Amino acid sequence: MNIFRTSNEMQQAALQLKRQGKTIAFVPTMGFLHEGHASLLREGRKRGDILVLSIFVNPIQFGINEDLDRYPRNWEQDCRIAEACGVDIVFAPGSADMYPPGFQTGITVRELSLPLCGSSRPGHFDGVATVVTKLFSLVQPDVALFGRKDYQQLAIIRRMTADLNLPVQILGMPIVREDDGLAMSSRNSYLSPTERQSALCLYRAVVRVRERYAAGERSAATLRDEALMVISREPLATIDYLELRDGSTLEPTQTADNGTLLALAVKLGQTRLIDNTLLGEEL
Ligand code: AMP
Digit-coded pLDDT (tens) for 165-209:
999 999 999 999 999 999 999 999 999 999 999 999 999 999 999
**What pLDDT score was predicted for residue 9?**
98
Q: Is 54 in the pocket of ligand 1 (CB under 6 A)?
A: no
186 lines ligand 1 (CB under 6 A): yes
Q: Is 245 in the pocket of ligand 1 (CB under 6 A)?
A: no
Confidence of residue 84 (pLDDT cuts 50, 70, 90): very high
- Report yes or no: 145 and 43 within 8 Å, Cβ to Cβ: yes
How much is the pLDDT for 225? 98
> 264: pLDDT confidence band, cut at 50, 70 and 90?
very high
Distance of CA 187 from the midpoint of ligand 1 (Å): 11
The mean per-residue pLDDT over the stretch 248-262 comes to: 98
- Give the confidence band of 86 by pLDDT, cuts at 50, 70, 90: very high
Q: Which of 146, 148, 182 to mutate to test the pocket of ligand 1 (most atoms within 8 A of CB)?
A: 146
Which amino acids are annotated catalytic?
Answer: 37
Instruction: Tell me if 37 CB under 6 Å of ligand 1.
Output: yes
pLDDT at 168: 98
pLDDT for position 245: 98
Number of DSSP helices (H) and strands (E) in the chain, helices first: 10, 9
Q: What is the mean pLDDT of the chain?
A: 98
Q: Is 176 in the pocket of ligand 1 (CB under 6 A)?
A: yes
Ligand 1: atom nearest CA of 31 is 2
Q: What pLDDT does residue 116 have? A: 98
State the distance from the centre of ligand 1 to the C-alpha of 142, rounded, in angstroms: 19
pLDDT of residue 210: 98
CA 13 – CA 18 distance, rounded (Å): 9
Pocket test for ligand 1, best of 26, 29, 90, 275 (most atoms within 8 A of CB): 29
Q: Is 147 exposed, middle or buried (0-12, 13-18, 19+ CB in 10 A)?
A: buried
Report the pLDDT value the prediction gives residue 102, as an integer from 0 to 100.
98
Q: Residue 89's pLDDT is what?
A: 99
Pocket test for ligand 1, best of 26, 30, 37, 41 (most atoms within 8 A of CB): 37
Starting from the edge strand earliest in sequence, which strands make up the sheet with 260-268, in order?
237-246, 260-268, 271-278
Average pLDDT over residues 58-82: 98
| Alpha-carbon span 143 to 169, nearest angstrom | 4
Determine the pLDDT at residue 49. 99
Which of 236, 244, 230, 237 minimizes the C-alpha distance to 276?
244
